[in-house]
Amino acid sequence: MQISFPNEIPEYSARELTLAFPALVDGERVQCEITAEALEDHFGAASPRLEDMVGAFDAHRARIEAAARRLLSETRAQCAVLRSGYVRFYEANARA
């Protein structure tokens, strides 16, 4: 499975408190999302405001994409939502 991430600006959802970003899985576009909670808990976002979430996403994009890559692999490229618990689990196991 080939997974890459286009360098696009993530889309903010105030209603869902998420940032959406695309992945390309074997050439097909798949939407990934990361929650405000995950960005606050693991990537230093100060709040669920757009500016804080995008700043944290940009500063930690490689780590976020690595977690998304693993989740996409585990779910056979279904839509990936990175929640705080998954990021905690991923990072704990990535260090092991």
The confidence score (pLDDT) of residue 95 equals: 61
The confidence score (pLDDT) of residue 37 equals: 96
CATH architecture of 3-95: 2-Layer Sandwich (3.30)
Cα of 20 vs its chain's centroid, Å? 8
The confidence score (pLDDT) of residue 74 equals: 86
Question: pLDDT of 31-85, one tens digit each?
Answer: 999 999 999 999 999 999 999 999 999 999 999 999 999 999 988 877 689 988 8
Radius of gyration for the chain, computed over Cα atoms and rounded to the nearest angstrom: 12
